[in-house]
Amino acid sequence: MKNFIKIVFGSCLGVLMAIVVVGLVGTALMTTLISAGKSKPTLEVNSVLKLSFDRDIPEKTNNTQAAMYNFSEDPFLGLYEIRECIRHAKDDRNIKGIYLSLTSGGMGNATAQYLRDAILEFKQSGKFVYAYSGNYGYSQGAYDLASSADKVMLHPLGAVDLPGFGAEIPFFKDMLDKIGVKMNVFYAGKFKGANRTFQAQ
């Protein structure tokens, strides 16, 4: 009976020690992997900060629906973090300029203005800013941000579409009434709207 208790106690103790050893080794291995993954990149002299706007910019980092299922290591940087990167790049001696890759169609005017102010502040350090896009027709905000750069580049087959930040439809009915002109409108099909400028507002 005593031998049986010794064998059982020894087996339990051996299993417990194995669990402790495996746990310690696993913890050390995970710590090493995590610290290696979060190591800061080293900047060489004459580096250029590349900001790629190839997706919508959230207000807060990783505050997007897609980020919930994003298993890559690259975070969805938020608006504030991007501006902080630009501010740090201004004072970093290794960074000589910024390259803006503007391919996103989801940049609003407020977002573009917020980042544009940061770019103009960055340029006060005397460093260059270049902007490139395959097509500036997707987002007027993207072109607004690009206008803060020293050079704005476009793909040879790209396009620029600038509809303006505001639009108004002129109405001529009051003027026509004052000079005694009456409009006779004839429709050639449904949903014609060209005559609305001659009707009451």
- Interval 106-144: pLDDT, tens: 677 888 889 999 999 999 999 999 999 888 766 678 888
Q: Which two tokens stand for residue 67?
A: 């980020």
Mean pLDDT of 18-34: 75
User: How deeply is 133 buried, as exposed, middle or buried, from its count of CB atoms within 10 A (0-12, 13-18, 19+)?
Assistant: buried
Are 138 and 105 in contact by the 8 Å Cβ rule? The answer is yes
pTM of the model: 0.60
What structural domains does the chain harbor? 43-154 (3.90.226.10), 168-201 (no CATH)
Arithmetic mean of pLDDT, 157-161? 81
CA distance 73 to 62: 11
Is residue 158 predicted with pLDDT exceeding 90?
no
Kindly list the strands in the beta sheet with 47-53, ordered across the sheet, starting from the edge strand earlier in the chain: 47-53, 95-102, 128-133, 151-154
